[in-house]
Amino acid sequence: MSRKKFLLVDAHALIYRAYYAMPNLTDSDGHLVNAVFGFSKMLLNAITYFDPEYAAVCFDHPKPTFRHKKFDGYKAQRAKMPDDLIPQIQIVKDVVTALGIPKFEIEGFEADDLIGTVNCKVEDLDRQLLTVIVTGDQDSFQLVDDDTHIWMPARGKQQRGDIEYDAALVEKKLGIKPLQVIDLKALMGDNSDNIPGIKGVGPKTAVALVKRFNTVEKIYEFLKEHPEGDETIKGALLQKLLNGEKSALMSKDLATIECAAPIDFDLENCRVTAYDKNKVIEIFQNLGFKSLINTLPKDAFESSVQEALF
């Protein structure tokens, strides 16, 4: 029997993916709306495919997060949000609201942290639910377990289809267990978030170390007992590890998704119920998204008619 689903959406990850993958679609006023279209299409595809019992959408807050306070270089290399994407964020929020899906956004936290927090709360409340995180960001791989999967929409027509990651598929892709993603980033860093890791330690070495020791902390426990290393940790690698302990532990902290953000969460408020379909249709018509209208979920009236007929 298929488990009931909680669909948990990483808004900004999908918005950015849509912005850079979709052609320059504009509304009747000439405003760019390609990210709104792409986000809406991915969200509706996920709703159709998973038929969730519950759903929520998490947004990044525009202000700096607690990670920036810990490390001022965090994401420092990233370009600012493109000017023609900024107004699309609010339109995305309007679409989500019209669909009747709760939104979470908290100053000081990233969407990943809100996703991690909601996911933990759902697991505590109902172990029968399967949480499906819809994202284009591999950071969330660390959350995957028997009760949490990741669904990554395809990047475009030329890419392979949508992929649902369970723990086995994450391990097949990365060579490590899902929770060890944070240890991998502690060693090799993450250029996309400007997490430094240990200078000179690449993916192959990082995976081998994580496989052997399981965690970064255990690597340094070993090195305290064996300061001269052994047959595999020696020479340049030994020096990199010894010199990089502080950076590695900080990087692991930065890479770890917070699962205790101050969210006012009520599972029942996230239940997928009736929504104002006419409002969504109005938004889509104004944006020129006629092709998406037929992909909208049934509203309360349509559902009641279908039940009466069958």
* Contacts with 292 (C-beta within 8 Å, 6 or more apart), sequence order: 37, 40, 41, 44, 284
The neighbouring-strand residues paired with 149 are: 132
**pLDDT tens sequence across 80-128:** 999 999 999 999 999 999 999 999 999 999 999 999 999 999 999 998 9
Domain ranges in the chain are 5-174+257-302, 179-255
pLDDT of 68 strictly over 70: yes
Among 117, 113, 119, CA closest to 132:
119
pLDDT of 226 strictly over 80: yes
Look up the CATH architecture of domain 5-174+257-302.
3-Layer(aba) Sandwich (3.40)
Predicted pLDDT of residue 310: 37
What does DSSP assign to residue 138? G
Band (pLDDT 50/70/90 cuts) for residue 299 is confident
| 296 alpha-carbon distance from chain centroid | 23
Which token pair is 151?
Answer: 């669904």
Place of tokens 């960001």: 137
Band (pLDDT 50/70/90 cuts) for residue 1 is low
Q: How far is CA 271 from CA 56, 89, 124, 263, 287, in A?
A: 9, 24, 17, 17, 27
Beta strands at 163-165 and 103-104: parallel, antiparallel or unpaired: unpaired
Phi, psi of 133, deg, nearest 5 = -90, 120
Asked if residues 118 and 263 have their Cβ atoms less than 8 Å apart, the reply is yes
- Type and span of the H or E element at 297: none
Q: What percent of the chain has pLDDT over 70?
A: 95
Fill in the amino acid letter for 30: G
The answer regarding whether domain 179-255 maps to CATH 1.10.150.20 reads yes
| pLDDT mean over 207-229 | 97
The neighbouring-strand residues paired with 8 are: 56, 133
pLDDT of 301 strictly over 60: no
Predicted pLDDT of residue 152: 95
Band (pLDDT 50/70/90 cuts) for residue 308 is very low
**pLDDT tens sequence across 283-294:** 999 999 999 999
Rg over alpha carbons for the chain, rounded to the nearest Å, is: 22
pLDDT of 302 strictly over 80: no
